[in-house]
Amino acid sequence: MIEIRGVHKSFGSLAVLRDVSLSVPAGSVTVILGPSGSGKSTLLRCINHLEKVDRGTVRVDGELIGYRQDGDKLHELPERLVLKQRAGIGFVFQTFNLFPHMTALENVNEARGPRDALQLLDRVGLAGKAHAYPRQLSGGQQQRVAIARALALDPKLVLFDEPTSALDPELVGEVLDVMRDLARAGTTMVVVTHEIGFAREVADTVVFLDGGRIVEQGPPAEVLDNPQHERTRAFLSKVL
């Protein structure tokens, strides 16, 4: 579903992604771990072309993201086509980003997707809160609305950038439960998170990113329980 090849990305003189290649099969869950500043958010943002890569390619469902290929030359796609590609990729942020003046239902409808907004709210356990405004909802409920909104356009995959990091600890579980249900339903997901328990239980692949490079990747039983690299071990000893 996602094919990332040889991606480099710098901000000025700061190299943030260095030769990153990653394949994400349809219906699989990939968890990305790594210290702060290692390039996790930038990698997600490159997948939906919120950031332009300096080198390398990103394909989603076979389609080159952000560019049209002409022989061995790449031409940037017009904004209209980039937006169309982006609409097929759900994105859930750490900070929910709901519209404060819209109800839960209106927030989900706002995407004008093909899926029924009330059904989507029901799927995240919030049909009863359809007419509540974000300020009337807990952080966990707001994030579940944000997930429903990300599903409204019937995306091919959903990217999650630390979806539970802004939540009080007692609200983390309800959001992870919704994500676990999505995974069980076969949604292709890439999740940046420090929730190792979630990674162990739900991920097909765990990727450890450090200094903009993929240091290690594999099934959770390998990367989490038997890491081969010192930097992975050092990171896990801090978050476990």
Closer CB to Mg ion, residue 108 or residue 159?
Answer: 159
DSSP E strand stretches across 25-104: 29-33, 55-60, 63-64, 67-70, 73-76, 89-92
At closest approach, how far in Å is the CB of 69 from Mg ion? 30
Interface residues toward ligand ADP, by CB under 6 A:
11, 14, 16, 34, 36-42
At closest approach, how far in Å is the CB of 209 from Mg ion? 10
Residues 39 and 9: their CA atoms lie apart, in Å, by 9
User: Cα–chain-centroid distance for residue 90?
Assistant: 8
Closer CB to Mg ion, residue 31 or residue 111?
Answer: 31
At closest approach, how far in Å is the CB of 193 from ligand ADP? 11
Q: Return the closest-CA partner of residue 46 out of 64, 29, 62.
A: 64
At closest approach, how far in Å is the CB of 70 from ligand ADP? 29
Closer CB to ligand ADP, residue 51 or residue 174?
Answer: 51
Closer CB to ligand ADP, residue 55 or residue 131?
Answer: 55
Q: Of the ranges 18-26, 41-49, 107-115, 209-217, which one interacts with Mg ion (CB under 5 A)?
A: 41-49
Residue 39: name its binding partner from Mg ion, ligand ADP, none (Cβ under 5 to 8 Å by kind): ligand ADP
Alpha-helix runs per DSSP H in the chain: 40-47, 79-87, 104-109, 117-123, 139-151, 169-184, 196-202, 220-223, 230-239
* 131 within 8 A of 120, measured Cβ to Cβ: no
Closer CB to ligand ADP, residue 94 or residue 138?
Answer: 94
Indicate if the alpha-carbon torsion angle 60, 1, 191, 103 is positive or negative: positive
* 117 within 8 A of 152, measured Cβ to Cβ: yes
41 is a contact residue toward Mg ion (CB under 5 A): yes
Q: With CB under 5 A as the rule, give the number of residues binding Mg ion.
A: 2
Residues that bind Mg ion (CB under 5 A): 40-41
